[in-house]
Amino acid sequence: MANSIPVEERLIVALDVPTAAEARAMIDTLGDAVVFYKIGLELFMSGDYFELLDYLTNQHKKIFVDLKFFDVPATVGRAVAQLNGRGVTFATIHGNDSIMRAAAENKGDVQILAVTVLTSLDRGDLDDLGFSCDVEKLVLSRAKRACEIGCDGVVASGHEAKAMREQLGHNFMVVTPGIRPVDNDDDQKRVVTPAQAFENGADYIVVGRPIRDADDPRQAAIELQAAIATALP
């Protein structure tokens, strides 16, 4: 599976900006340096989500709908079905087996990614949420169930990707957020560099702030693409 992914598509840029106008400006700035974009909850609340989705489609970009659907299974299934035929490649869900199954049964031409454990959470956060197992065991458990149920892959930290590949194989996708080219002091806790992510078995990486906040976002994207090409076997 991994070898069939074009190198330039392995970088997914997160459009974590408050308005569709700012998102379009970023897309135009990055130009042909980026093929794949993630649009999430902040832009959904702007009211222009589907207009932006259509803009990306018209620009021949690939689209990752990151809304982490979590609701009554029937509602999740109907919500996922609404994405069919819209040019969406990935969509995220977050929930138990019945929620994941409803999404998988209604995915149509959309590939479903199950969120394992958010990269903004660490061991102390899981304690607060009432999870007694360690992060890696929880991620592995959720990934195994997601793939058995019919999801196409998972969203998981690069820290757990290696164990997932060793124990669960390569017949599913691993999309890794929390990518930081250098040390960081933001709200992402379980972070890795691009090279570490791919070495550990990621198929795609999601990058937001290191590109969005760069002095030259296009150059930052170009440098990340070069780092990805170097990191791949």
CA-to-CA separations, 230 to 60, 146, 168, 195, 225, in angstroms, rounded: 25, 31, 26, 8, 9
Place of tokens 């489609």: 57
End-to-end CA separation in angstroms for the chain = 14
Give the separation between CA 171 and CA 194, rounded to whole angstroms: 21
Say if residue 31 is exposed, middle or buried (CB neighbours under 10 Å; 0-12, 13-18, 19+).
exposed
- Alpha helix locations (H) across 45-95? 49-58, 73-81
| Count of helices and strands (H, E) across the chain | 11, 8
68 is catalytic: yes
Task: For 81-142, give the DSSP string.
Answer: HTTTTTT--EEEE-S-HHHHHHHHHT-TTSEEEEE-S-TT--HHHHHHHT--S-HHHHHHHH
Give the separation between CA 128 and CA 54, rounded to whole angstroms: 40
Give the separation between CA 139 and CA 78, rounded to whole angstroms: 26
Q: Which of 38, 61, 62, 68 is flagged as catalytic?
A: 68
- At residue 232, the 3 state secondary structure works out as coil
Which amino acids are annotated catalytic? 68
